[in-house]
């Protein structure tokens, strides 16, 4: 099957049970997305699939023929980081960094979803800021950080939204 990852098309012949996460890490050498739980519980494996954030450990590759995937490696470079990456650096939004690629890919998805006006579980519909701290916490609640970097992650995302 064919899959485009970070703008590069790949032709893959793999076991049909292969997950998108394993295809990225084990077969395409893109180890930015992390395997935290392999059960859809931690968000460390988050990537963008056709522009929407997904837990790649729960996605069967075989169902995604022709899809476009963006991983943390495709968001920015060391010289030119993505605005969310820059904000995480400036706000010290990480400690060990294991959850960080997933946090950043998820945050990119959050900014897009809020920009489209998509509500979250805490949105009341009263014209509130869809990127308030409460909204950011709710929208990022699928991404766990065992180092507890949340107090810096929230302002980083708020600042990236402003940019």
Chain contacts with ligand FES (rule: CB under 6 A): 35-38, 40-45, 55, 57, 94-100, 145-147, 149
Least spacing, CB of residue 37 vs ligand FES, in Å: 4
Nearer to ligand FES, 130 or 156 (CB): 156
Nearer to ligand FES, 87 or 130 (CB): 87
Nearer to ligand FES, 122 or 150 (CB): 150
Cα(107)–Cα(46) distance, integer angstroms: 10
Q: What's the half-sphere exposure (Cβ side, CA atoms, 13 Å) at 68?
A: 7
Least spacing, CB of residue 124 vs ligand FES, in Å: 29
Least spacing, CB of residue 54 vs ligand FES, in Å: 9
Sequence-ordered list of residues with C-beta below 8 angstroms from that of 86, at least 6 positions apart, any chain? 76, 160
Note the Cα 64 to chain centre separation in Å.
17
Rounded to the nearest 10 degrees, what angle do helices 100-115 and 150-162 cross at? 40
Least spacing, CB of residue 42 vs ligand FES, in Å: 3
Say if residues 99 and 143 touch (Cβ distance below 8 Å).
Answer: yes
Q: Decide: helix, strand or coil at residue 63.
A: helix
Least spacing, CB of residue 72 vs ligand FES, in Å: 14
Nearer to ligand FES, 12 or 37 (CB): 37
Nearer to ligand FES, 38 or 138 (CB): 38
């Amino acid at each position: 099957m064919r899959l485009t990852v970070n703008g590069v098309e790949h032709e893959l012949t793999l076991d049909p049970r292969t997950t998108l996460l394993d295809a990225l890490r084990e077969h395409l050498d893109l180890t930015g997305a992390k395997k935290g739980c392999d059960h859809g519980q931690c968000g460390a494996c988050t990537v963008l699939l056709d522009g929407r954030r997904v837990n790649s450990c729960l996605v069967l590759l075989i169902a995604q023929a022709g899809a476009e995937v963006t991983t943390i490696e495709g968001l920015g470079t060391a010289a030119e980081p993505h605005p969310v990456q820059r904000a995480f650096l400036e706000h010290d939004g990480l400690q060990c960094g294991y959850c960080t690629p997933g946090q950043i890919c998820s945050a990119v998805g959050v900014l897009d979803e809020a920009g489209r006006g998509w509500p979250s579980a805490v949105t009341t519909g009263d014209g509130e800021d869809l990127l308030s701290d409460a909204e950011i916490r709710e929208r990022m609640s699928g991404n766990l950080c065992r180092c507890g970097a949340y107090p810096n992650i929230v302002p980083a995302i708020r600042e990236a939204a402003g940019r």
